[in-house]
Chain A
Amino acid sequence: MIGSIPLGDVLLASGALFTIGLAGALLRRSAISIFLSTEVMMNAANLALIGYGSAMGSREGQIIVFFIIAIAAAEASVGLAIFVALFRHKETIDVNKINLLKW
């Protein structure tokens, strides 16, 4: 049970997860990798929510996380659809090569 883990450890894990996600989002070139990295960052936030909720003895943290997961699923389908469309058009999903919208 998460309740037996100290809050500090949970937040440490959450912060580590966020940092890994952030690094991935900034450094990767594949759009799908960036997308997955942002999902990791989001789950870091989810983890922090659950940790805090548990530490405060409330269920609301977990309830919010369920909402976030549901919405993330919807958003993931839209995002992936965009990549499919992009790939059909440009034959690549390297973000460095997708830069038409500029000055």
Chain B
Amino acid sequence: MSASIPLWLVPALPLAGFLVNGFLGKRLGKSFVSAVGVGAVGLATAAAYARLVPFFAGDHSAVVERIAPWFSAGGFSAEIAMRLDPLSALMTSFVTFVGFWIHVYSVGYMRHDETEAGYARYFAYLNLFMFAMLILVLAQNFVLMFVGWEGVGLCSYLLIGYYYERQYAADAGKKAFVVNRIGDFGFLLGMFGLFSLFSSLDFDRVFTAAAADPGKYAPYLTLVCLCLFLGAVGKSAQVPLFVWLPDAMAGPTPVSALIHAATMVTAGVYMVARCNVLFRLAPEAMAAVAVVGAVTAIFAGIIAVAQNDIKKVLAYSTVSQLGYMFLACGVGAYVAGMFHVLTHAFFKACLFLGSGSVIHAMGGEQDMRRMGGLRSKLPITYWTFLIATLAIAGIPPLAGFFSKDAILGSVFEHGQYVLWGLALFTAGLTAFYMFRLVSLTFEGSFRGTPEQEHHLHESPPSMTAPLVVLAILSFVGGWIGLPRVFGENLDRFTAFLSPILLPLASAAERAEPGLSHGAEWLLMGVSVAAAVAGLLLARSWYVRGQGRVPDRIAASFPAAYALLAEKFRVDELYGLLFVRPFDWLARMLWKVVDVLVIDGILNAGAFLVELVGDLLRFLQTGNVRNYALSLFLGLIALMLFVIGAV
């Protein structure tokens, strides 16, 4: 019986790992910490798959496991309940799997550089992150989801600031946290809105009520959905709140792979997909999602072209790919969006881990201008990196091709030709900057110092094994969702997720043939052509041309190039628009409101009391006859009062 393993065990195991490593790890040594950290996530993965395999194979109906009532206040109550349905099963499957391999990788990556305390702290945070992420995806109501949502944000902050003795890492963590708070604020408002509409935050109740009476709720849902989407924008680093993700690369590279590429940043997409019933009733919110997604995709893609830090390129690429996912959700193609979430988790984790392997070999160097020719020195890293790059570029038959094609196809099908054009251009751009990265890093001759060249080595097996596993999945991961043109029943991914993601779609919409096979082939051809064009351009510019063409272009348009290299100066703009005014406001509140007004009122009150006391104390003469006289006068006054003379 599949129910033999309770769902709560899946997040509980990493939590146990966090507690052990967090409280005892410092004293137990690195081997023990590795065993606990990796073991907890490994067991959680095993527990998850013990539930997921029968679920994938058999009945796909949602299972809700109620664990305990949590709190109730007035008409509101929340409970701790977990939900297993196709959507959460999909998320759990790759969160645990990718998470496990990144834990394995971390052993090799972090082992030598860190102190025992730092190593234990790292694994404790990583396990805590797994716990929070699994709570997020398995929650049955918005409140519990929010716990996971905030939990992953906290772990992200802690891990970005892992090297807290470096100022920029501490600042980057703070930035991520603050920017995420803006989004979380929207999520909270959305929850309040949902509660006032539906008097419940349970997924089943909210979605059933919304679906049962769309006319009643639709007018309010636009605002609610926009608030929820603001949360997703913050968490998934979309325009205008994307600025924290590139800076998040200050954390250790496996963290970038796990949190800031594969799992946490896709939580926003997951949340929008989870609320698809609501978003469907709010077409304006859907349009906003699509536009934000498309703009983010192309904006981040353009920035990525001019970055020289290997992790920055990947970070902007992540932002861009997340934009793709939102674009898909925005046009109603939730299945395509989630498909890209899945494939992106594989190839982006592989890319980040590969870049970690490169940085490891280069002794901490992240600037691609000082790399080159690493292909022969790091063969496993190179080949896995290449596969993942081909996958993200959308070259068939790798994973990224199918998911990207599904997104492009559905955007086209919904008649959003402008957005389709943007997405297509982004696809070419993606191929270009990714092959620029590969060319600069692995091709040509080595441009670093001789000392670095001497040090170059392939990473240990604990680091290359995850690379190989993820590269294989980047290759084959897309085959679970083959497009219709290859055969009617091959798209098992859509069939699996449809009950959750297409519940409101009318029968006609489901039966709709969509684009003709010819058009679909054509679209596929166009997207492949865009990818190949980007790829070839990058190769001819950076491998054969050795970067002379881009240098000439940069020299011809210095202002434009500087703007691009400085990421369109968005950070500077925000600094001017928000950070400095808020800084000024905070200073005002401190120096004027707090010090002058509040402290002033208190001090003035105290001064007045002291002054009056100073005057009144002279009444205390110490002479008992004066007191007796006062008593007498008081007695007379009292008598006059009693007989009514005064």
Interface residues of A (CB under 8 A from B): 22, 25-26, 29, 34, 95-96, 98-103
* Residues on A with beta carbons closer than 8 Å to the beta carbon of B629: 26
Cβ–Cβ contact B620 & A102, under 8 A: yes
The 10 A-B pairs with the shortest beta carbon distances in the complex, nearest first, are A102-B622, A99-B622, A103-B617, A99-B623, A101-B622, A95-B624, A102-B620, A103-B620, A102-B621, A25-B628
Restricting to B587-642, which residues have a CB under 8 Å from any CB of A? 617-618, 620-625, 628-629, 632
A29 to B622, CA, bound (A): 14
Cβ–Cβ contact A96 & B625, under 8 A: yes
Task: Please name 12 further chain A to chain B contacts, defined as beta carbons within 8 Å, in addition to the given A34-B628, A99-B624, sorted by A numbering.
Answer: A22-B632, A26-B629, A26-B632, A95-B623, A95-B624, A96-B625, A98-B624, A99-B621, A99-B623, A102-B620, A102-B621, A102-B622
A101 to B622, CA, bound (A): 5
Taking the closest CB of chain B, its distance from the CB of A93, in whole angstroms, is 11
Highest count of chain B CB atoms <10 Å: which of A34, A98, A102: A102
Question: 5 interchain pairs (CB within 8 A)?
Answer: A26-B628, A26-B629, A34-B628, A99-B622, A101-B620
Taking the closest CB of chain A, its distance from the CB of B617, in whole angstroms, is 5
* Residues on A with beta carbons closer than 8 Å to the beta carbon of B623: 95-96, 99, 102
Taking the closest CB of chain B, its distance from the CB of A84, in whole angstroms, is 17
A33 to B533, CA, bound (A): 120
Taking the closest CB of chain A, its distance from the CB of B606, in whole angstroms, is 20
Taking the closest CB of chain A, its distance from the CB of B641, in whole angstroms, is 19
Cβ–Cβ contact B625 & A100, under 8 A: no
Taking the closest CB of chain B, its distance from the CB of A20, in whole angstroms, is 14
* Residues on B with beta carbons closer than 8 Å to the beta carbon of A25: 628
Taking the closest CB of chain B, its distance from the CB of A45, in whole angstroms, is 13
* Residues on A with beta carbons closer than 8 Å to the beta carbon of B625: 26, 29, 34, 95-96
What residue of chain A has the Cβ atom nearest to residue B626's Cβ? Answer: A99
Taking the closest CB of chain B, its distance from the CB of A60, in whole angstroms, is 23
A60 to B624, CA, bound (A): 35
What residue of chain B has the Cβ atom nearest to residue A29's Cβ? Answer: B625
Highest count of chain A CB atoms <10 Å: which of B617, B618, B621, B625: B625
What residue of chain B has the Cβ atom nearest to residue A22's Cβ? Answer: B632
* Residues on A with beta carbons closer than 8 Å to the beta carbon of B628: 25-26, 34
A103 to B623, CA, bound (A): 11
A29 to B625, CA, bound (A): 8
Taking the closest CB of chain B, its distance from the CB of A11, in whole angstroms, is 15
Selected from A22, A26, A34, A100, the residue in CB contact (under 8 A) with B622 is: A100
A29 to B632, CA, bound (A): 17
Taking the closest CB of chain A, its distance from the CB of B616, in whole angstroms, is 10
